[in-house]
Amino acid sequence: MDNRPVLLDVENLQTHFRTMDGVNRAVDGVSFSVRSGETLAIVGESGCGKSVTAMSILRLIPEPPGKIAGAIRFGGRDLLKLSDREMRQIRGNEISMIFQEPMTSLNPVLTVGRQIGETLRLHQGMSAGKAEERAVEMLRLVGIPEPGRRVREYPHQLSGGMRQRVMIAIALACNPKLLIADEPTTALDVTIQAQILDLMRDLKTSVGAAIVLITHDLGVVAEVAERVVVMYAGKKVEEAPVGELFRRPKHPYTQGLLGSVPRLGSSLTGETTRLAEIPGLVPSLKQKIPGCVFASRCPKATDFCVAVAPALEPKAPAHVAACHYAEKEAA
């Protein structure tokens, strides 16, 4: 039983976009919670609504064309009911985000020290000198060598791994309670990915922040997450502790995702098993689907699945899935 207090509680989140062709239901009724100091991973293929969920938590969705509904409670306050000024006090201070591509997220004409210091001056009222001292300290914390020199350099002078470390330094500068990491290792090579994951694990221990990790890389999930939410076509289809999900996935989509992961060293053992694939395409999010959103690609689907949407139901202790035919284990 996890006795840590709930830090973030997302309930029935709906983020829709009005377009010329109709309403795009990018996130459609998603609920989850994050406890203090916990790492929650949100996984799924591109276009399933992971990043929109993260942007919705910080209210970074432009309205119009976007519209956010539901409840996003952080520390007991519903973020959707706060004013723009109150949200600006929370962004970068209590909730920080590491964006997907550091080269486009960092300002190319400002030094990295200035960009780290900007957050500190805005939220903590530091002087320019104190902010630069703290920037050097943050670069040292995230493992950048010669931080006193690097603090005066520009993003183009740093490698991809260093830029990602700068993004983490900016996100952690004000000691946030919640860190949202949107595909933090996607643009990096494998060795740098491992270093960034080690860094995030170490920082979580030292800073004590909860982490929401947005990714499609199941290897990353296995490495750092405690619980996993699986999303498909804007909906949550499964949630479980990470070990339970990898050992006994209940939803056919999760089973397909895990089956399509290459096994390291399989060619050396003489295995000739082909990689599993999930046939078909993700349905259009502009169509209202009456039944299961995965039915058109599911090998187990029946007419009942096409007609009736499955509810998220417990299938094992702390394990829920939205599938009519998912195996149910005794408590």
Q: Helix crossing, 160-172 with 128-141: angle to 10°?
A: 120
pLDDT digits (tens, 9 = 90+) for 203-217: 777 777 899 999 888
CA-to-CA distance for 55 and 25, rounded, in angstroms?
15
Q: Which two tokens stand for residue 292?
A: 């299961």
Amino acid at 57: I
Q: Which of 35-44, 161-170, 316-325 has the lowest mean pLDDT?
A: 161-170
Q: Are 170 and 116 in contact (CB under 8 A)?
A: yes
Gap between the Cα atoms of 289 and 283, Å rounded: 9
Listing DSSP states for 180-226 in one string gives: EEESTTTTS-HHHHHHHHHHHHHHHHHH--EEEEEES-HHHHHHH-S
Segment holding 105, helix H or strand E:
helix 102-105
Residue with tokens 């996984």: 43
pLDDT in tens, 64-112: 889 999 999 998 899 999 999 999 888 888 898 888 776 678 889 999 9
- Contacts with 124 (C-beta within 8 Å, 6 or more apart), sequence order: 174
| pLDDT tens digit sequence for 1-14 | 678 889 999 999 99
pLDDT at 232: 93
What average pLDDT does the structure give for the chain? 86
